[in-house]
Amino acid sequence: MNEVIFHPIGYIKSPFKNVEDVPKAEIDAKKYEGQLVIDEKYLESMADMKVNEEYLLLFYFHECKEYKQTVPLKGIGPLTALFSTRAPCRPNPIGVSNILITDIKENIITFKGVDMLDNTPILDIKKVFK
């Protein structure tokens, strides 16, 4: 297979500095607020984003060094096959989270739904259509 290379479009400012502190469930992540700091060259790409809209955030688990094919469910449960979990360390450590935009000022997007570490590289943002 060919190599795939991504270039971050920005990074995440999160209250979480340690993996152990990151919420393991989406419901818990919704309690926390963070910021997306987007490279200013993508301001035009942000033009139609709005407060109170939901987006999918794709990011790179930059702290993962290796993965296991079975992991404890939510970090504490029974051993479960990796692809049936949201465990961060994977063959391609790409994360995806649902976020809710609470504020936008220039290239800074404030959001709820933080379940990633501080300084996590952002790969993409996609609108959720319902």
Residue range 58-69, pLDDT digits in tens: 999 998 889 999
- Residue 71 tokens read as 């992991």
CB 26 within 8 A of CB 98: yes
Structure confidence by residue, pLDDT tens digits, 22-77:
887 788 889 999 999 999 999 999 999 999 999 999 999 998 889 999 988 877 88
pTM (2 d.p.): 0.89
Spatial distance between the Cα atoms of 45 and 82, rounded to a whole number of angstroms: 34
Going along the chain from its start, the domains and CATH numbers come out as: 10-127 (2.40.30.70)
Q: Tokens 């139609």 identify what position?
A: 48
